[in-house]
Amino acid sequence: MRLLEERIVQDGLVLGSGVLKVDTFLNHQIDPQLMEEMAIEWKKRLEGVPVTKIVTIESSGIAPALMLAKLYGVEMVFARKQKSITMDDSVYTADVYSFTKQVSRTVTISKQFLSSDDHVVLVDDFLANGEAALGLCDVVEQAGASVSAIAIVIEKSFQPGRKKLDDRNYHVESLARIETLEMDHIEFIHE
């Protein structure tokens, strides 16, 4: 998606070690117009894919996931990184390792929000090693629901996440695929 690639080049900051900081439009401050354009692009790419629910992990995936849910007219559910005292033990969980935070967390979704009738599109801000996406897939599949697609904002294609998802036959739609991420150069994959 050209608009997203332009924002990454213009406002993204490469911190080294494969880390891209995009807090001016996605991870801290949110550009609602860009979120809407991304949702429109995903919906176009996912034409014909059954969708009854959008699922993401808090917090950076919430804005794009909510925009996509609005376009589909379905509910958006986010997996919590920390179990709230208001949640009982009726939950689906998966352990997820965060590349950027270098910690492992158990993500949780209440059983009341996913059912075996659901066809889910997962949304995540980054795809690097695939741990978050695979954790969300696990949670969705624990409910007996199906993963219709995985919608990624920014894919770091030089890391193994995409291959892990492809090896499990998940439908992945990444809006920006980065092939090279260096301090003075970002190169994208165009299909």
Q: What is the pLDDT of residues 135-149, one digit of tens each?
A: 999 999 999 999 999
- Judged against a pLDDT cut of 80, whether residue 70 lies above it is answered with yes
44 labeled part of a ligand binding site: no
101 labeled part of a ligand binding site: no
With a CB cutoff of 8 Å and minimum separation 6, the contacts of 143 are 92, 109, 111, 114, 115, 116, 118
- Burial class of residue 6, CB neighbours in 10 A (0-12, 13-18, 19+): exposed
At which residue do the structure tokens 């980065």 appear? 178
Could you tell me if residue 151 is left (phi over 0), alpha (psi between -120 and 50 degrees) or otherwise beta?
Answer: beta
**99-146 pLDDT, tens digit each:** 667 788 899 999 999 999 999 999 999 999 999 999 999 999 999 999
Q: Is domain 32-177 classified as CATH 3.40.50.2020?
A: yes
Domain ranges within the chain, ordered by starting residue: 32-177
128 labeled part of a ligand binding site: yes
- Judged against a pLDDT cut of 70, whether residue 68 lies above it is answered with yes
**164-175 pLDDT, tens digit each:** 999 999 999 999
27 labeled part of a ligand binding site: yes
Residue 108's CB: how many other CB atoms inside 10 A?
A: 17
- Banded model confidence at residue 84, pLDDT cuts 50, 70, 90: low
On whether the CB atoms of residues 65 and 78 are closer than 8 A, the answer is yes
169 labeled part of a ligand binding site: no
Beta pairing partners, 40:
none
